[in-house]
Amino acid sequence: MNTIVQLDNPDFSPEPMEIADIAHHLFQCEGRWCARFEGFRLSSVFQPIFSPAHQQCVGLEALVRVQDTQGNFLAPPLLFSGKSRARIVLADRICRLLHGKNFLTLKEKELWLSLNLAHEVAIYGRSYGIFFQKVITEMGLDPNRVVLEIMEHPVEDPALLENAVLFYRQIGCGIAIDDFGTGQSHFDRVWRLSPHIVKLDRNLIRNAAESPRIRHVFCGMVSLLQESGSLVLVEGIETEEEAVIALEAQADLVQGYYFGRPAPPAFPGFRRMEPTLHAPSPKPPVQGKTHPRKIPPSG
């Protein structure tokens, strides 16, 4: 179960930062950008997000890979461990700048970029988000091609999260609720936040593949979320059976090892990865929903 983590200094206000204050952590290596942080080496990988209705990749989720000084890969959550608010904010800023620069090297004009936000940064978006606004402006990254993923964690003050989502919408970014269906997930939060995308937790599709009853409930959940006006993304798809279930449920977007593994930006093949299953005819559009290649307009 997710818990609310109490961090040090609740009145912490991040020091004003320019890209130059973060850029010294980054360096180029083998045609891509990497970063150094507290002895860790950070790099970007991108996992494709597909639209079954259009049988093509429409977006990329950026994921961080963490290595120690011996080159061993470590669990990414270690990067955001501890109770130091300043440390978490800095790590988050380094990752977003790193992913943004690597995404731009791909020169993909049609794809959108999906970025994970550290939970602490997400709920205090108005305080911590100014830096990212500078990043997308100075890098020339179109905010309408950026989706910010907010983890489905409990928060003490829901108004903080609502204000953060409003702020990110105002700068032009799309909003996704990640890992919906775990812990204390509530449809009420979807109604209040009206995210552009709801990403279903990977355990839901796994359980649906094991139980006809859960499979039926899963399809109903997808439909209900779509009726609320959000696009539904089923992630964690690893088998053909799970892919079939996602297509039967007429999910708007799919992601997982079955369709494409995370790959570094220099990897030459990910652009050509395509779903191998035929998607059913899409449902009639819900009012307010848009083509899944583009992020619905914010506001």
Residues 220-245: pLDDT tens digits? 999 999 999 999 999 999 999 999 99
153 compared with 170, residue with greater pLDDT: 170
Which pLDDT score, from 0 to 100, does residue 122 have? 82
Q: How many residues does the chain have?
A: 299
Indicate the domain borders of the chain: 28-272
The average confidence (pLDDT) of the chain is: 83
Residue 70 burial class via C-beta count within 10 angstroms: exposed 0-12, middle 13-18, buried 19 and up: exposed
28-272: CATH homologous superfamily? EAL domain (3.20.20.450)
210 vs 286: CA distance, rounded Å: 30
Nearest of 124, 117, 96 to residue 14 by alpha carbon = 124
User: Dihedral sign, CA of 152, 75, 135, 102?
Assistant: negative
- Looking at residue 277, the DSSP 8-state letter turns out to be S
pLDDT at 184: 59
Task: Give the integer Cα–Cα distance in Å for 23 and 98.
Answer: 9
At 207, the amino acid letter reads: N
pLDDT number for residue 127 = 74
Please give the Cα distance from 213 to 231 (Å, whole number): 23
For residue 48, give the nearest of 56, 60, 58 by alpha carbon.
60
